[in-house]
Amino acid sequence: MKSHDPDSADRQMSPRGVAVAALVGTTIEFYDFFVYGTSVVLVLGTLFFPSGNPLTSTLLAFATLGVGFLARPLGGLFFAHFGDRVGRKNTLIVSLMMMGVATVAVGLLPTYDQIGMWAPALLVMLRLVQGLAVGGEWGGAVLLAVEHAPPDKRALYGSFPQFGSPLGLLLSSAVIGLFGLMPAESYAAWGWRMPFLLSVILLAVGVVIRLKMEESTSFVAAQANNEIVSLPIKEIFRTFWRTVVVASGVTLIAHSLTLLVSFLPSYATTTYDLAPGIATTSLVVASAGAVLALVVMARLVDGRDRRRFTLVGGVLTAVWAFPAFYLPAEWGAAGLMISVTVGYVFLIPHYAALSSFLADMFPAHVRYSGVSLCYQLSAVLGGGLLPILTGYLVSRVGGASWPAAALLAGTGLITAASSLLARRVPTTGVAPVVAGPKSLRPAGR
């Protein structure tokens, strides 16, 4: 029999502390994920996919981003299953360790010149592991923050893990930019490896912090009430499939952002002969601007109709898509910086509302599975297939950028339309609903 510790409650993390802990872990995972994406722009193409054309090498390397995104739904479903069955905390610790080990391993990989085709094959495999790990990360981190939050601050605390993406991008871009100051030969020889290898420090910090977190109170309550189901994903498809379709559409632009933060800098530096350093500088400025915008926006969501925020993010993304790809051609480095920064900031209203929006659309006993499924299905489309399709279409039209702009605008419009279909999600949230052709009705009924 367990003895009661009267001081245990005092040692538990506050809701804000849990949200911060979720933020730290998410930042580390996205640092690892973005270190790869940013390195594709600078060096991975020529080292692992050599060809006579720099743009071709870059497009081949860029296509490996899609492998990571395609793996994310599998990781999301795997970790979500155990997150809904045995708890959120332990699954997040495992996902963080997988991500960290895979990232460090990329930094240790021999190049194409050293081991031939094994180099790109191993690189793709490690990107696959990264995708599996980050697939289980976002849903669990969001739920820990939202499920510990007071009812009137679910959106605010739920937005904490959302800072992980811009902060991870900011940190990864800053570290890569720092090592990019090395002489070109030294950077190509070994300097590019250091941002990957430094992930071992972040991994240790993240695991320690996550070990100190408490399990989600909503999950503990679901366990106590015997609500845990043996196959959560089956319950999701049986009862909430309409919600999954609409919410996946709402989430889409969170992943099509890859076209702005990875493809556009890569395309601009190779097509317009810009200095490689401008790509990382643009990402640093953009992610810093996104963090500041998210600080402001996250405080505005609670108590308001969240679909308005996701709708605005979708519309702004659609409107900005063609100017974003036009400005670097006309204004060079300054145009690239403006394009990436404005595009990222325009996404922030959507980003601030998304986590609590999704969390409140599913009951606690299948929430991890529902949130992860929606988020990762959109990752397959927006982050997996979209980069592959973009690279193919751009190469087919002789390197012109308009297919990329059109695809980005299309994802913004899909998100906006899906937001209109989703009925207002209440701040306290419970029953998910989507709009039908004649009326608003509960999802799955």
Per-residue pLDDT of 339-356, as tens digits, reads 999 999 999 999 888 988
Instruction: Supply the pLDDT for residue 7.
Output: 44
Who has greater pLDDT, 318 or 220? 318
pLDDT band at residue 203, thresholds of 50, 70 and 90?
Answer: confident
DSSP character at residue 262: I
Who has greater pLDDT, 227 or 264? 264
Contact in structure between 336 and 264 (CB atoms under 8 Å): yes
Mean pLDDT of 277-295: 86
Q: What is the mean pLDDT of the chain?
A: 81
Mean pLDDT of 27-52: 76
Sort residue 440 into left (φ over 0), alpha (ψ -120 to 50) or beta.
Answer: beta
Report the distance separating Cα 26 and Cα 91, nearest Å. 13
Burial of 6 (C-beta count, 10 Å sphere; 0-12/13-18/19+) = exposed
pLDDT band at residue 443, thresholds of 50, 70 and 90?
Answer: very low
For residue 1, being part of any structural domain is answered with no
For residue 125, being part of any structural domain is answered with yes
For residue 334, being part of any structural domain is answered with yes
Mean pLDDT of 138-147: 80
Length of the chain as a residue count: 445
Q: Is the predicted pLDDT of residue 190 greater than 70, yes or no?
A: yes
pLDDT band at residue 6, thresholds of 50, 70 and 90?
Answer: very low
Who has greater pLDDT, 60 or 321? 321
Q: Is the predicted pLDDT of residue 11 greater than 60, yes or no?
A: no
For residue 2, being part of any structural domain is answered with no
For residue 88, being part of any structural domain is answered with yes
CATH of residue 227's domain is 1.20.1250.20
Q: Tell me how far CA of residue 228 lies from CA of 80, 81, 202, 218, 235, in angstroms.
A: 13, 11, 33, 11, 11
User: CB within 8 A of 42, min separation 6: which ones?
Assistant: 176, 180, 192, 276, 279, 280
**With a threshold of 0.75, does the pTM exceed it?**
no
For residue 229, being part of any structural domain is answered with yes
Who has greater pLDDT, 103 or 443? 103
Instruction: Supply the pLDDT for residue 55.
Output: 66
Please give the residue range of the domain that contains residue 248: 13-442
Report the distance separating Cα 351 and Cα 255, nearest Å. 11
For residue 269, being part of any structural domain is answered with yes
Contact in structure between 71 and 125 (CB atoms under 8 Å): no
Question: Per-residue pLDDT tens for 390-411?
Answer: 888 988 888 888 999 999 999 9
pLDDT band at residue 233, thresholds of 50, 70 and 90?
Answer: confident
Report the distance separating Cα 145 and Cα 52, nearest Å. 49
Contact in structure between 113 and 169 (CB atoms under 8 Å): no
CB neighbours (10 Å) of residue 445?
9
Instruction: Supply the pLDDT for residue 404.
Output: 92
- Among 4-13, 33-42, 319-328, whose mean pLDDT is lowest? 4-13
Contact in structure between 187 and 180 (CB atoms under 8 Å): yes
Mean pLDDT of 290-294: 89
Amino acid sitting at position 385 = L
Question: Per-residue pLDDT tens for 417-441?
Answer: 999 888 644 434 444 444 433 333 3
The total number of structural domains that make up the chain: 1
Contact in structure between 166 and 293 (CB atoms under 8 Å): no
In the numeric block, the tokens 């993010």 are attached to 313
Task: Classify strands 433-435 and 440-442 as parallel, antiparallel or unpaired.
Answer: antiparallel
Question: Per-residue pLDDT tens for 249-271?
Answer: 999 998 888 888 878 887 888 88
